[in-house]
Amino acid sequence: MKILHLSDLHFPTRIPIFQLKGKMIVGYLNYTLRRKKKYPLQIWRSILSSVEELDPDSIVISGDITNVSHESEFKEAGKLLSELPKKKVFYIPGNHDRYTQDAVGKNAFYEKYFSDLSGESVSTNDDYIRIKKIENIHFVGWDSSLPLSILDAYGNVRPDIVSRTLTILDEKKIRNYILVCHHPIWNPPHRQETSHHKLINREEIASLLKRKPPIAFLHGHVHTNWVKFPGEELPYYVINSASSTRIADSRHECGFHLIELNGRDLKIKRYTYQLEQSKFTEAPLVSYWEKE
Ligand SMILES: [Fe+2]
Ligand SMILES: [Fe+2]
């Protein structure tokens, strides 16, 4: 079973300024001025070539498909992503896909365009708990993002959602699962996040997950790549593949991971984007032990 993990695609879309309101205006201006050129579509085309070459059995995208959650961004992203084989994909939303109050709930654009690509809702209420079985592995998706002020991008997964997920997995007799969540549950010491950016109750989530740990926790949000090996506190791999479509600089690596799964054993390869060759090539893994 080969899993291709992509994240934080932040597809560039032109939006007429008069169609924006509130927080979206500031967010969009900031994006156009500072970030838009950093996400050329050429990198996406190179990802599609890699997909063909690497032939994964499943493709996970751990959020931040858009920038300010405008409908035209979801439409455009939907067109680009339609090149991927539908049966193999598993998406979850990121904070940029839940940018405003309108981007949350049953009628949100994420739900309109990507719900059927995000697995089956297994929650009895409106809470976001999604599961999709691809071949012999179950992917579990959480939505850690909330619409916040322009200065905030922190995440939260309520403890009852964690407990309920584990109960559902017990009921369905699912033992081996991969958990996908936009915000990291662990960061390397030199890439710690502020309380404005991190998963605020991550210790609580990690403690609850100990009852039935996933094989791996796939995430994005911090735009660079890393892998943490299973440890005492978090007995699973933590894998960050953000951003797969952003031109690299000293703080941000552009890459993705290919995860080969054999039972609970993982072989992980990292690929980074080579600007001069317009292609992804294998690169050394950036890996850590829990207590570094
Ligand atoms: Fe992002
Ligand atoms: Fe994010």
Spell out the residues 6+ positions from residue 26 whose beta carbon is closer than 8 angstroms to its own: 150
H and E: helices and strands count for the chain: 6, 14
Distance 168 CA to ligand 2 centre (A): 27
Distance 263 CA to ligand 1 centre (A): 30
Residue 116 has pLDDT above 80, yes or no: yes
Distance 148 CA to ligand 2 centre (A): 12
Residue 236 has pLDDT above 80, yes or no: yes
Q: Which ligand sits nearest to residue 9's alpha carbon?
A: 1
Distance between CA atoms of 265 and 269, rounded to whole angstroms? Answer: 13
User: What pLDDT is stored for residue 99 in this prediction?
Assistant: 96
Q: Which domain holds residue 258?
A: 2-288
Alpha carbon separation from 151 to 26, 66, 110, 192 (Å, rounded): 11, 18, 22, 17
Residue 123 has pLDDT above 80, yes or no: yes
Distance between CA atoms of 101 and 130, rounded to whole angstroms? Answer: 21
Inter-residue contact 44 to 120 (CB < 8 Å)? no
pLDDT in tens, 201-212: 999 999 999 999
Distance 96 CA to ligand 2 centre (A): 6
Distance 144 CA to ligand 2 centre (A): 10
Distance 104 CA to ligand 2 centre (A): 15
Residue 17 has pLDDT above 90, yes or no: no
Q: Which CATH number covers residue 54?
A: 3.60.21.10
Note residues around ion ligand 2 (Cβ under 5 angstroms): 64, 94-95, 221
Alpha carbon separation from 168 to 161, 173, 175, 215, 275 (Å, rounded): 10, 8, 11, 17, 44
Q: How many domains does the chain have?
A: 1
Distance between CA atoms of 214 and 143, rounded to whole angstroms? Answer: 16
Distance between CA atoms of 143 and 95, rounded to whole angstroms? Answer: 9
When pLDDT is averaged across residues 263-282 and rounded to a whole number, the result is: 96
* 3-class secondary structure, 118: coil
Inter-residue contact 28 to 53 (CB < 8 Å)? no
**Confidence band for 148, pLDDT divided at 50, 70 and 90:** very high
